[in-house]
A and B are shown apart, each in its own frame.
Chain A
Amino acid sequence: MAEVEETLKRIQSQKGVQGIIIVNAEGIPIKTTLDNSSTVQYAGLIHQSVMKARSTVRDIDPQNDLTFLRIRSKKNEIMIAPDKDYFLIVIQNPSD
């Protein structure tokens, strides 16, 4: 448990990381380092995105599954590690 906390702290302190959100399977944020409104917004929108992405991957081959999703935009990059029970979302701006 301590290791998890340490790792989260290290990630948070890396260059350019704007926020970390951990969302459960229904889209409700469990843990976040952003403010509430942004968190809720991110959680809701990303949930849908990941569902769609996962559906796409599995439709092509049902034995396949989504392991990681990166959305790179002009201003930052959103990295999502999806799992059966949760999503781990990190927003980073590497050019900071």
Chain B
Amino acid sequence: TEMAPTVTRSQPNRAYLGCSGTGASCPGCASHKSPSTAKSETYISLSQVLDENGKDVTPRPVYQPDPAAVQSKHSKIFASDTSGGTMSDFYSTTYQTTTNASFAGAFTRSLFGSGSVSIGSQSIMESMSEEIEDPSSKRDNSISLSDVQVKREEVKELIQEEMLDDMVDLYLVESDTLCLLDMPAISVSVDSMEAESVKERNSRYTELCKNRTGNDKYMGRSMQTFNGASKTKEVQSEAITMADAATIANNWDMYDSFCSAGQGEVDLSTDTDKAMSSSSSRMEMEPFVVPSESKPDPELILQSEEFQQHLFVMERIILENIYQPKLAAYRQLPTLEGMVLLKCWNHVTEQLSKQKRLRREESSLDEEGPPTPALERLWSFSCELTTGRNVSSMAWNKRNPDLLAVGYGQFAFKDQKPGLVCCWSLKNPSWPERIFTCQSGVTALDFSASSASMLAVGMHDGTIATYNVQSREKTPVIDSSDCVHKHTSPVWQVRWINHERALSGEDKGEALISVSADGRISKWFLRKGLDCIDLMKLKRTRNDRFKRQVGEKERKSEALISRQAPGLCFDFHPTDSNIYLAGTEEGHIHKCSCSYNEQFLETYQAHKGPLYRITWSPFCSDVFLSCSSDWTIQLWRQDLFTPVLGFMSTQRAVYDVMWSPKWATVFGAVNEGRMEIWDLGASILDPTIVNPASPGVKLTSLLFATETDCVLVGDSDGQVSVYQLKNFTAGEGTQDVSILQPPMRLVKSMSADRRRLGLFWFYIENKNV
């Protein structure tokens, strides 16, 4: 009864018709059932279908519903529950109730035959029933399935509730053999029983084919098929433009990308592969944008800091190209003399070997006689700012021996103009590194040793200023113009002195000492601004002793303008920073001590004119030199009150004298017209090397270079020329102080026999009459 409505749902009629018509000829045709019979009968009766051989190939229905509702219940369980049940379950359940094993077999066959994947879906069954035009057996089966489905779902629920805790017996029985595919063979073995009939059939068929050709029963007929009108269709698309994109991934390119993407620095030195792989993974995650480079304005480029720095470096390199041989000579590097550096390499090596040969020849010549010492002019520091100015003082930087400070200022009172301090670097002889303009002429300079960038400047109007050469500021760090006790006359010398021993409450460390023409030697310090205390006031002394020697008539005592003698120079003892020598305009040298600021310890009188320079010997701590405008240079010993040696070469005032830092017996002197290098080991009467000044130019200052054997000479035209001492073999044991002793012993011995020297001394004494 329940089956009836579902049967009508499908489209059975058409199928029935079709099936009935061809029932005989289609062996696989399903059974048809009449709707009427379905109602009454519990199971479907099928008409017999026989194939050609008389075999009963009646398809049996998949499902034959039993009268018992239990059976349907069980079957329903199977159909609806695909997810829960497995095939084995199905079998077991059906077997519980059904005795007909073939049911299961038939049912399953239909399942497979219909090809449905999920049994439990009604929709598939329905769709299949629409689509399948073939034998209605399937449809019937599907119908039955769908019917079954409805019932089974209900049953399932019941079971779930009631029978969960029941013990269920499962019987496993071997099922029937399922025939999934039955393709009858098309060939038959000769030995088989059917062979005869098959042969006969085949022969009948060949005969039929033969008879076909001329037979009236068969007529050949031609058919025409429609050829669809063809139509060409064209499609035009835009030209696919291909663009080649290429990129170079260098080592540094990847490194740059890392840094700019803010990924932090990856240590590429260890494992670049690792980095690459990790970077690629990272790039997939975050969209990586190559930073676009903006074009900077040309003006901005020209004004940028880096550009200035590059220009600075470039300038130095160009100058190095120009001055390379000279600088190399300065540094005492082997130079390729007379060489144009741009010749080809073969030529260079040729020259080198030639020079080596020459040198060897020269050195062999040396054994015959020493080559004459000479001065070679290397270069000069000058620029258009300095031309016309008088070089008054020069000082090396204590920490950087390549840095030179030069002070420009007039000595004479009348032609005063604003002074200039230039800091020159060895790397750029054509333009100073720092330029400081001062309000009055610069007369003294010194670099500090403790803070190497401090430069103390003494000026013609008595001002003392300190500059910081590291900064680019043009103004002094501190100035003494506000100080109450400042100097009122030109400051002729400044020096930074390191007091090792603290004296009565004074600070240890470096102090700035200055001497000025107002007769005071002052020590400057920073207290609330620059302030000074007087170390010494240089009092005038009467040279009674001298008068007695000469035997002149007494000079009229003149009214003195000032009780102080202008101080022109001073020098502290190299080892004992308490003792210093001061030279005055009167020609006296006073030995003073920092502890006594009232009295001189000693006075040395020999010079007739203002003393321009006093220097202690750096090698022999008892000996000092002094030079003055009375055309002489005097060599003194601390304990002797008359000079040990006097040197005079021309009748010109000697402006500057300096001991060589390298050789104990060598010193240099500069007078107005020429520069002289004296070597006491070679001769005490004449300078060893004489270098005349250019006409019209007066030489004013002298400085030895500390690390090389070069001499700097400043002149009144603003040029500082650098000369190299060549072939100077003054004393192999240059540090040996005893070298200085022989000349003095010689003097002492000679003073007994005054043949040559006596004349010399006499000349000096007579001159001053």
Chain A contact residues, CB within 8 Å of chain B: 1, 3-4, 7-8, 10-11, 14-17, 22, 24-26, 30-31, 55, 58-59, 62-63, 68, 70, 72, 74-77, 79, 81, 83, 85-86, 88, 90, 92-95
* Bound CA–CA A15/B379 (angstroms): 14
16 additional A-B pairs beyond A88-B307, A92-B318, beta carbons within 8 Å, are: A10-B430, A11-B315, A14-B318, A17-B318, A22-B301, A22-B302, A30-B298, A58-B255, A59-B250, A62-B252, A62-B256, A75-B342, A76-B342, A85-B304, A95-B340, A95-B341
The reply to whether the CB of B365 lies closer than 8 angstroms to some CB of chain A is: no
Chain B contact residues, CB within 8 Å of chain A: 250-252, 254-256, 268, 293, 295-296, 298, 301-304, 306-308, 310-315, 317-319, 321-322, 324, 340-342, 344, 430-431
Is the CB–CB distance between A83 and B322 below 8 Å?
A: no
Is the CB–CB distance between B315 and A10 below 8 Å?
A: yes
- Jot down 13 A-B pairs with beta carbons below 8 A, ordered by A: A1-B302, A4-B303, A7-B308, A24-B295, A26-B295, A31-B298, A31-B302, A55-B250, A62-B251, A72-B342, A74-B342, A74-B344, A88-B310
By a CB distance below 8 angstroms, the chain B residues around A8 are: 311
Is the CB–CB distance between A94 and B322 below 8 Å?
A: yes
By a CB distance below 8 angstroms, the chain B residues around A77 are: 321, 342
* Bound CA–CA A58/B256 (angstroms): 10
Q: How far is the CB of A84 from chain B (nearest CB, A)?
A: 8
- A25/B293 contact (C-beta < 8 A), A14-B318, A14-B319 known: yes
- A81/B313 contact (C-beta < 8 A), A3-B308, A30-B298, A30-B302 known: yes
Is the CB–CB distance between B313 and A90 below 8 Å?
A: no
By a CB distance below 8 angstroms, the chain A residues around B341 are: 94-95
Q: Nearest chain-B residue to A73 (Cβ)? A: B342
By a CB distance below 8 angstroms, the chain A residues around B431 are: 10
- A63/B255 contact (C-beta < 8 A), A24-B301, A72-B342, A75-B342 known: yes
By a CB distance below 8 angstroms, the chain A residues around B250 are: 55, 58-59
* Bound CA–CA A90/B322 (angstroms): 14
Is the CB–CB distance between B314 and A59 below 8 Å?
A: no
From DSSP, what is the main secondary structure of chain A's interface residues? mixed
Name, among B254, B344, B431, the residue most crowded by chain A CB atoms within 10 Å (CB to CB).
Answer: B431
Q: How far is the CB of A33 from chain B (nearest CB, A)?
A: 13
By a CB distance below 8 angstroms, the chain B residues around A15 are: 322
Q: Nearest chain-A residue to B255 (Cβ)? A: A62
* Bound CA–CA A8/B303 (angstroms): 12
Is the CB–CB distance between B252 and A55 below 8 Å?
A: yes
By a CB distance below 8 angstroms, the chain A residues around B314 are: 11, 79, 81, 88, 90
By a CB distance below 8 angstroms, the chain A residues around B324 are: 94
* Bound CA–CA A88/B60 (angstroms): 102
* Bound CA–CA A70/B296 (angstroms): 26
By a CB distance below 8 angstroms, the chain B residues around A31 are: 298, 302
Q: How far is the CB of B326 from chain A (nearest CB, A)?
A: 12
Contact of B302 among A4, A62, A72, A94 (CB under 8 A): A4
* Bound CA–CA A26/B314 (angstroms): 21
By a CB distance below 8 angstroms, the chain A residues around B313 are: 68, 81
Is the CB–CB distance between B321 and A16 below 8 Å?
A: yes
Name, among A62, A68, A83, A95, the residue most crowded by chain B CB atoms within 10 Å (CB to CB).
Answer: A62
By a CB distance below 8 angstroms, the chain A residues around B318 are: 11, 14, 16-17, 79, 90, 92
- A62/B306 contact (C-beta < 8 A), A14-B430, A30-B298, A75-B342 known: no
Is the CB–CB distance between B252 and A59 below 8 Å?
A: yes
Q: Nearest chain-B residue to A72 (Cβ)? A: B342
Is the CB–CB distance between B255 and A30 below 8 Å?
A: no
Q: How far is the CB of B401 from chain A (nearest CB, A)?
A: 25
* Bound CA–CA A63/B302 (angstroms): 27
Q: How far is the CB of A10 from chain B (nearest CB, A)?
A: 6
Q: How far is the CB of B264 from chain A (nearest CB, A)?
A: 14
Q: Nearest chain-B residue to A30 (Cβ)? A: B298
Name, among A3, A58, A70, A94, the residue most crowded by chain B CB atoms within 10 Å (CB to CB).
Answer: A94
Is the CB–CB distance between A86 and B268 below 8 Å?
A: no
By a CB distance below 8 angstroms, the chain B residues around A30 are: 298, 301-302
* Bound CA–CA A8/B430 (angstroms): 14
Q: Nearest chain-A residue to B303 (Cβ)? A: A1
By a CB distance below 8 angstroms, the chain B residues around A95 are: 340-342
Q: Nearest chain-B residue to A28 (Cβ)? A: B298
- A86/B315 contact (C-beta < 8 A), A74-B342, A94-B321, A94-B341 known: no
* Bound CA–CA A51/B755 (angstroms): 79
Contact of B311 among A7, A75, A93 (CB under 8 A): A7
* Bound CA–CA A3/B307 (angstroms): 11
Q: How far is the CB of B270 from chain A (nearest CB, A)?
A: 13
Is the CB–CB distance between A4 and B295 below 8 Å?
A: no
Q: How far is the CB of B320 from chain A (nearest CB, A)?
A: 9
Q: How far is the CB of B241 from chain A (nearest CB, A)?
A: 26
* Bound CA–CA A95/B343 (angstroms): 10
Contact of A83 among B307, B340, B342 (CB under 8 A): B307
**Which 6 residue pairs across A and B have the least CB separation, nearest first?**
A58-B252, A62-B255, A81-B310, A62-B252, A30-B298, A94-B321
